[in-house]
Amino acid sequence: MQTLRLFITLIVIGLVLTTCSNSQPDSKDNTSPKDSTKETFSINTLVEELKQTPDSVIAQLNRQHHSLKVLERRTVPGPFTPPKMKYYSEHAVTLDKLPTINPGPGEYVHVMEGQRNGYNNLTIGITETFPGGAPPMHSHEGEESHVLLEGDIVYALGDTLFTIKGPYVVNIPAGVPHAFKNIGNKTANLVVIFPTNIWKYDVLDFFPFEGKEFPSEKFDKLKKK
């Protein structure tokens, strides 16, 4: 009889310990959710852009498309050795191996420059555009395409301001001044595509979003109050 009682007691103790163990939060599941207002990818490869004083050639190229003043031309710094494209590892690159630039407040770009990655006519950037983040108004010698799967963006394209929600593709003609701003409440990862193997752009003396507030930004402020 005593043996039976002891056996039952051991079973009860085991059930209690199991219940207590299951009620403890799992350390793997207790991680805080990712902050959607911060970077999606690492920006540990941040580099300082090269900034060139515009010469008469740069000024003339821009005058063909607009009357804004060119402040500077920016490119990605550093020497590099073009890949021989012999092995598969030279045909693929992860974002943590790409240089990252900071064109404007709250705007980072992971730059896959074609000449550094075996392309003849292709350059791609993937942005980390934080809420409120924006690059400066700028222009390119060639055309550009923007692709966004999710987010709310306001564009300045020439003299036009417009808002658009992802998913979308935006066509930016060669030489046209443009900028964009994230007016959503999450970091936006735009993919920017150029049919050239060199990353360069001309910063212009115009600030299209200064002093302006857009509907979604007003709504977000009200939600925070």
- Determine what percent of the chain is predicted with pLDDT higher than 70: 80
pLDDT number for residue 215: 66
pLDDT of 42-82, one tens digit each?
A: 999 999 999 999 999 999 999 999 999 999 999 999 999 99
What domains are there in the chain, each with its CATH number? 50-206 (2.60.120.10)
Residues 6 or more apart whose Cβ sits within 8 Å of residue 191:
124, 125, 126, 127, 146, 147, 148
Residues 6 or more apart whose Cβ sits within 8 Å of residue 44:
96, 100
pLDDT number for residue 36: 82
Rounded CA separation 132/120 (Å): 34
pLDDT of 67-126, one tens digit each?
A: 999 999 999 999 999 999 999 999 999 999 999 999 999 999 999 999 999 999 999 999
Rounded CA separation 106/98 (Å): 19
Residue 145's identity, in one-letter code, is S
The residue that leads in pLDDT, 25 or 150, is 150
